[in-house]
Structure 1
Amino acid sequence: MVQRTRFDDSECPVARSVDAIGDWWSLLIVRDAFDDCRRFGDFQRSLGVAKNILTARLRTLVAQGILETAPAADGSAYREYVLTGKGRALFPVIVALRQWGEQHFFEPGEPHSELIDRRRGQPLRALEIRATDGHIVGPDDTFVEKAPSPGDSTG
């Protein structure tokens, strides 16, 4: 069996984030959790994923602190999966993927689902990346700087 490469000790936040999420099934589970999907059967119906794959992904998301199990809201004996604060913090990631997909994988006028602001009833604006002073930045405006290792001195 091939062992999965782990990135949980990488210096790169993107690599650590991908390591925590695991794969695309996990992102779709998180997407569905934002859409109020809470029970195993609901996730399975929505995604059409095999039970063993769904079980493994849900366990990983719980182990990573992205989802937690809770008693069923209806008082039944079932357990439900609920986004934690860490999981809810994935909202901008899901929105960014959605907007990227809308822009690059649909023809103009082709119907697709939309994310709507509940209060205003309007679609969301495109996400913007801004510097600390508020100006919009793109990939050519940024660079990655390696953080100093503990014990490094610049003295």
Structure 2
Amino acid sequence: MQRKSFEGSLCPIARSLERVGEWWSMMILRDAFHGLTRFDQFQRSLDIAPNMLTRRLNALVEAGLLKRRRYNDHPPRDDYVLTARGRDFRPVLIALTAWGNRHFADEGIASQVVDATTGAVADPVMVDGLSGRRLDEPDFVFAAGPAADDTVRRRMAFARRRREPTEPEASRG
């Protein structure tokens, strides 16, 4: 079955999923952040079929998240290293780690984010880089951006209406 493509979507979530939404992609990126660079390292770590790993690595290179770096000419062998775009994915993996530990680690936490100097366990949260405030509702919400089309504007207007208090709630003050 052919999966839906989000290639032309204006939604940043859809565009991102087009590049990293397949689970092997995120696992490869996780391993790249742990220092793995070689095909055989990824294959061993993930226990993934070689043809699937080849496809996922090629897709990540094409998306600009990884780049190939030749380390052997005969036979040709490449390392796969994170690009600046790939390194920018780190907060997403940290957020997924924290969310997964909070909601799905019934048997205990196997992997967590810690302070590299002290070893203290971190409590990853997203903050606004300008104000330093947590990106929690109701203080921060999704809004249409400058390139939004009518579909995006309607979606954001619907979300805004859902957030606005009803008349009796607003008068309670």
| TM-score when normalising by structure 1 | 0.82
CA RMSD of aligned residues (A): 2.4
Aligned to 1:63: 62
Matched ranges for 1:130-141 at <5 A: 130=128, 132-141=130-139
Measure the CA separation in 2 of the matches of 1:61 and 1:128: 25
- 8 A contact 2:64–2:83 mirrored in 1: yes
Q: What SS is found at the alignment partner of 1:41?
A: helix
| Higher helix proportion (structure 1 or 2) | 2
Compute the displacement of 1:133 (Å): 2.8
- 8 A contact 2:66–2:86 mirrored in 1: yes
- 8 A contact 1:131–1:137 mirrored in 2: no
Compute the displacement of 1:129 (Å): 3.2
Deviation sequence 1:44-73 (CA, Å, 0-9, x none): 111111111111000000011100011339
Matched ranges for 1:104-115 at <5 A: 104-107=103-106, 110-115=108-113
Matched ranges for 1:53-92 at <5 A: 53-72=52-71, 78-92=77-91
> Percent identity of the aligned residues?
38
For structure 1, which runs of at least 5 residues remain unmatched after alignment? 151-155
Compute the displacement of 1:90 (Å): 0.2
Measure the CA separation in 1 of the matches of 2:19 and 2:46: 20
Equivalent AA in structure 2 for residue 133 of structure 1: S
Alignment length, in residue pairs? 146
Aligned to 1:48: 47
1:93 aligns with 2:70: no
Q: Compared with structure 1, are the counterparts of its residues 8 and 84 closer, same or farther at alpha carbon in structure 2 (3 Å cutoff)?
A: same
Q: Compared with structure 1, are the counterparts of its residues 52 and 100 closer, same or farther at alpha carbon in structure 2 (3 Å cutoff)?
A: same
Deviates more, 1:134-143 or 1:64-73: 134-143
Deviates more, 1:123-132 or 1:37-46: 123-132
Q: Compared with structure 1, are the counterparts of its residues 111 and 15 closer, same or farther at alpha carbon in structure 2 (3 Å cutoff)?
A: closer
1:128 aligns with 2:126: yes
For structure 2, which runs of at least 5 residues remain unmatched after alignment? 150-173
Compute the displacement of 1:117 (Å): 2.9
Measure the CA separation in 1 of the matches of 2:104 and 2:37: 28
- 8 A contact 2:70–2:76 mirrored in 1: yes
Indicate the structure (1 or 2) with the bigger Cα radius of gyration. Answer: 2
Measure the CA separation in 1 of the matches of 2:86 and 2:79: 15
Q: Compared with structure 1, are the counterparts of its residues 80 and 140 closer, same or farther at alpha carbon in structure 2 (3 Å cutoff)?
A: same
Aligned to 1:14: 13
Measure the CA separation in 2 of the matches of 1:16 and 1:105: 26
- 8 A contact 2:98–2:112 mirrored in 1: no
